[in-house]
Structure 1
Amino acid sequence: MGGGYDGKILFQVSVLNRNLQAIGDIYLCDDHGITFMSDIDDTIRIMNVTSLMRTLINTFSREFKAVSGMADIYRYWERKYNATFTYLTGAPDQLYPFLKEFLDREHFPSGSTHMRHFKWLNANFLDFFVSSTHAKKIDTLHMFLQSTYHRLFVLIGDIFQSDPDVYASIYAQYPNRIARIFIRKYKDDDNGQKRLETIFKDIPRTKWATFETGDDLPKDIFM
Structure 2
Amino acid sequence: MKQGLRRVTYFFKRLAHVAASPVRRDNGRGGVVVHPYRGYGSRDEAFVMGRVYRQLALGRMIPRRGALRDIADVARRILRRGVKRAGVEVRLGDNHRQVVTDRDGYFNVRLPLESPLPVEVSWHRADIAVSTAAGRLEHTHTEVYVPAEATDLLVISDIDDTVMFTGVAEKLKMLYRLFVKTAERRTAFPGVAALYQALHRGADGKLERPILYVSRGPWAIYEMLEAFFQLNRIPVGPILFLREWGLSWRHPWPRRATDHKRDLIERMLGLFDDVPCVLIGDSGQHDPEVYTEIVKAHPGRIAAIYIRRVDNNPDRETAINRLREELSGSDCELILAADSLKMARHAHHRGFISAHGRDAVRRSVCSHPETVDSADVAESERG
TM-score (normalised: structure 2): 0.52
Matched letter for residue 46 of structure 1: F
Matched letter for residue 72 of structure 1: A
Q: Assess, with a 3 A threshold, how the Cα gap between structure 1 residues 5 and 45 changes in structure 2: closer, same or farther.
A: farther
Shift of 1:149: 2.2
Instruction: Please name the residue that 1:99 is paired with.
Output: 225
Pick from 85, 106, 120 the counterpart of residue 247 of structure 2: 120
Matched letter for residue 27 of structure 1: Y
Pick from 174, 177, 182 the counterpart of residue 298 of structure 2: 174
Pick from 28, 50, 67 the counterpart of residue 146 of structure 2: 28
Deviations 1:91-110 (A, max 9, x none): 11222111111111111112
Pick from 184, 199, 203 the counterpart of residue 308 of structure 2: 184
Q: Assess, with a 3 A threshold, how the Cα gap between structure 1 residues 207 and 6 changes in structure 2: closer, same or farther.
A: farther
2:283 aligned with 1:147: no
Higher relative CO (Cα under 8 Å, sequence separation at least 6) belongs to 1
Instruction: Please name the residue that 1:65 is paired with.
Output: 187
> What's the secondary structure of 2:194's corresponding residue?
helix
Shift of 1:5: 8.8
Instruction: Please name the residue that 2:257 is paired with.
Output: 133
Deviations 1:1-55 (A, max 9, x none): xxx9962112344654779765432111238510111000000100011222112
- In structure 2, runs of 5+ residues without a counterpart are 1-118, 352-383
In 2, distance between residues paired with 1:176 and 1:148?
A: 14
Q: Assess, with a 3 A threshold, how the Cα gap between structure 1 residues 221 and 182 changes in structure 2: closer, same or farther.
A: farther
Pick from 123, 126, 131 the counterpart of residue 11 of structure 1: 126
CA contact (8 A) 2:306 2:334 kept: yes
> What's the secondary structure of 2:266's corresponding residue?
helix
In 1, distance between residues paired with 2:342 and 2:231?
A: 22
More strand by share: 1
Pick from 184, 199, 216 the counterpart of residue 77 of structure 1: 199
Shift of 1:56: 1.1
- In structure 1, runs of 5+ residues without a counterpart are none
Is 81-90 or 35-44 further displaced after alignment? 81-90
In 2, distance between residues paired with 1:167 and 1:56?
A: 26
In 1, distance between residues paired with 2:223 and 2:231?
A: 12
CA contact (8 A) 1:40 1:88 kept: yes
Q: Assess, with a 3 A threshold, how the Cα gap between structure 1 residues 50 and 14 changes in structure 2: closer, same or farther.
A: farther
Question: What root-mean-square deviation, in Å, do the aligned CA atoms of Structure 1 and Structure 2 show?
Answer: 2.7
Matched letter for residue 328 of structure 2: P
Instruction: Please name the residue that 1:220 is paired with.
Output: 348
Q: Assess, with a 3 A threshold, how the Cα gap between structure 1 residues 221 and 161 changes in structure 2: closer, same or farther.
A: farther
> What's the secondary structure of 2:315's corresponding residue?
helix
Larger radius of gyration: 2
In 1, distance between residues paired with 2:318 and 2:146?
A: 39
Between the aligned residues of both structures, percent identity stands at: 21
Moved over 6 A (4+): 17-21
Q: Assess, with a 3 A threshold, how the Cα gap between structure 1 residues 20 and 180 changes in structure 2: closer, same or farther.
A: same
Instruction: Please name the residue that 2:17 is paired with.
Output: none
